[in-house]
Amino acid sequence: MKNIILTIGAIAIGLTCIAQEYDENAEKYSKTITAGELKEHLYIIASDKFEGRETGKKGQKMAMDYLIQNFKSFGISPPENQEFTQTFNLIEQTTKNVNLTIGYKEYAVLKDFSVSPSIIMKQKIENEIVLVGYAIEEEDYNNYAELDVKGKAVFIMDGMPKKSKVSGEWPMKKRIELAKKKGASLVMYHSPKLKDNLIKYEHYYSKPKLVLKEDVDENETIVLATTTAVAEEITTLAGMKWKKLVKKGMKEENGQTLKFALNIDKPTEYLTSENVLAFIPGTEKPEEVIILTAHYDHIGKEGDVVFNGADDDGTGTVTMLEIAQAFQQAVVDSMGPKRSILIMPVSGEEKGLLGSKYYSNHPIFPLENTVANLNVDMIGRYDERHSEEDNYIYLIGSDKLSSELHDVSEKVNELYTKIDLDYTFNDENDPNRFYYRSDHYNFAKNNVPVIFYFSGVHEDYHKETDTVEKIDYEKTARVARLAFLTAWELANREDRIKLDEN
């Protein structure tokens, strides 16, 4: 019986391989994707006129209009009963007007402390803050013993008890979550690295934060991280000697209280942004959809300096236009795909994958009917590892959910494009964690198989020097053809690719 099963399996694999043969139509339409047209579009999308395409701002709206005009000119429509755009609401805030007083001392945000979540609506809190030591709760070491912090603010010390019987790992995140579980209305904690981080990452901390409006929870617990200097003053006010505390560890003197006041009135702006929807219905299985994405937003401008984002992700954006045009030409020639194709340039990636997150929360087509997502982000340059070669692309995620998708991708490349497929960043232990850092991830976490096409980070990443003259348009075209040909195969093969069992 085992031999029979193996034979049947081998036949099935053989049939799958036979089904994926060279398709002259696939290659014909892939050749309509040209370096010249990609360059023509990119010189517009990544020009100063588009002001860096910042999410929710003028330049992003201009890029959106440009995309829609081109999709219309190709003869492509949005999905049935839909507009060309999927609009989502955003809230933007800057970390200003956050004032903290403990005892008699006032503290400055982004100098003495940081505050989260990133979006906090106007609040004024006057209360007592309770010192709870290391804020650990175990059978033989419990800082919360005989201590009720429900509805109160708490202060947590960094470090671990000296000569204690604490058995488990207690990272600060775990202590904060325990304090919330205990009902603390606000959590303040000592962060030894905060002072250096506030200097090192000043640009990140000080720039406005943007989130989906639907994600804002006005009841979320406020968390403040303090520098060592502030932690020293707090413990001193509570009657403890800092040097002794650091040397010997926190004593069991939990429950001391201090008066504090926190006023939050951060400048707030309400914005909207859009995903663009260009739809090519399938001829035989229209309910099954392949989604291609690239984020068309970038980081905007600072004063007169425009961050054009030619590679990030202008190259992906113009790839969406060329792929859409190639598929539509096949439709005109009565060779349209059997499954549906949704070309979806998304916005808000630079602010936290917001557009793709919104789509995954509010899909136009059921996610269970979504065959795969192919995501293109930065494909026109070279990173340091490939400075001497131009015929490569990093592939990320292709085997995470569906080994069949990975096999399809490999076979397509073997038949047509013969690009060096580099899987370095596909390693689960890769410290860059690129798998989690572009729009495909919002599909992957919903069990939609994905491929992320990526050339790697270069010296102009997120700088004003990421400009159009530095793009290798022939390389961009090769990768764009690979994405198109993979989508073509997924759309036209007899059987839909399947998720792996595990």
Query: Could you tell me the pLDDT band of residue 6, with boundaries at 50, 70 and 90?
Result: very low
Phi/psi of residue 311, nearest 5 degrees: -85, -40
The full 3-state SS of 259-304, as one line of letters, equals EEEEEECCCEEEEEEEEECEEECCCCEEEEEEEEEEECCECCEECC
3 CB neighbour count, 10 Å cutoff? 7
Amino acid in the structure at residue 228: T
Alpha-carbon distance of 310 to 52, in angstroms, equals 9
Q: Which domains does the chain have, with CATH numbers?
A: 20-88+274-492 (3.40.630.10), 98-266 (3.50.30.30)
Give the pLDDT confidence score for residue 141 in this predicted structure: 87
**Interior/surface letters 407-420, b for 16+ CB within 10 angstroms, e for the rest:** bbbebbbebbbebe
The model's pTM is 0.91
The secondary structure element, H or E, covering residue 356 is: helix 354-361
Which SS3 state, helix, strand or coil, does residue 357 take?
helix
Asked if the model's pLDDT at residue 9 lies above 80, the reply is no
Q: Express each pLDDT in 443-495 by its tens digit.
A: 999 999 999 999 999 999 999 999 999 999 999 999 999 999 999 999 999 99
Give the pLDDT confidence score for residue 255 in this predicted structure: 86
Give the pLDDT confidence score for residue 167 in this predicted structure: 82
Alpha-carbon distance of 342 to 373, in angstroms, equals 10
| Contact (Cβ atoms closer than 8 angstroms) between residue 304 and residue 24 | no
Once rounded to an integer, what is the mean pLDDT over residues 58-79? Answer: 98
From 2-16, 39-53, 133-147, 319-333, the region with the lowest mean pLDDT: 2-16
Show Cβ contacts of residue 501 under 8 Å, excluding neighbours closer than 6 positions.
none
Query: Could you tell me the pLDDT band of residue 3, with boundaries at 50, 70 and 90?
Result: very low
Alpha-carbon distance of 491 to 494, in angstroms, equals 9
- Bridging pattern class, strands 257-264 and 209-212: unpaired
Asked if the model's pLDDT at residue 313 lies above 90, the reply is yes
Asked if the model's pLDDT at residue 13 lies above 50, the reply is no
Q: Identify the CA nearest to 262 among candidates 143, 99, 145, 394.
A: 99
Once rounded to an integer, what is the mean pLDDT over residues 174-181? Answer: 97
| Contact (Cβ atoms closer than 8 angstroms) between residue 235 and residue 131 | yes
Q: How many angstroms separate the Cα of 70 from the Cα of each of 308, 321, 356, 376, 412?
A: 20, 7, 22, 19, 28
Tokens of residue 501, six digits = 């069992």
243 CB neighbour count, 10 Å cutoff? 8
Give the pLDDT confidence score for residue 18 in this predicted structure: 42
The secondary structure element, H or E, covering residue 305 is: strand 305-306
Q: Is the peptide bond before 158 cis (omega within 30 degrees of 0)?
A: no
Strands (E), 397-502: 420-422, 450-454
Query: Could you tell me the pLDDT band of residue 5, with boundaries at 50, 70 and 90?
Result: very low
Give the pLDDT confidence score for residue 19 in this predicted structure: 55
Helical packing angle, 316-332 and 473-492, nearest 10°? 50
Alpha-carbon distance of 225 to 340, in angstroms, equals 49
Give the pLDDT confidence score for residue 247 in this predicted structure: 81
Asked if the model's pLDDT at residue 4 lies above 50, the reply is no
Give the pLDDT confidence score for residue 8 in this predicted structure: 41
Higher pLDDT, 251 or 344: 344
| Contact (Cβ atoms closer than 8 angstroms) between residue 312 and residue 260 | no
Asked if the model's pLDDT at residue 2 lies above 70, the reply is no
Once rounded to an integer, what is the mean pLDDT over residues 13-38? Answer: 82
Q: Express each pLDDT in 130-139 by its tens digit.
A: 999 999 999 8
Tokens of residue 161, six digits = 């008890």
77 CB neighbour count, 10 Å cutoff? 15
Q: How many angstroms separate the Cα of 137 from the Cα of each of 166, 175, 177, 225, 340?
A: 9, 9, 12, 21, 54
Alpha-carbon distance of 56 to 272, in angstroms, equals 5
494 CB neighbour count, 10 Å cutoff? 10
Once rounded to an integer, what is the mean pLDDT over residues 377-391? Answer: 95
Amino acid in the structure at residue 269: E
Q: How far apart are the first and last CA of the chain?
A: 25
Q: Got the DSSP string for 334-354?
A: T---SEEEEEEEE--GGGTSH
Give the pLDDT confidence score for residue 252 in this predicted structure: 64
Q: Express each pLDDT in 263-289 by its tens digit.
A: 999 999 999 999 999 999 999 999 999
What does pLDDT average to over the chain?
Answer: 94
The secondary structure element, H or E, covering residue 11 is: helix 2-19
Tokens of residue 139, six digits = 């059978």
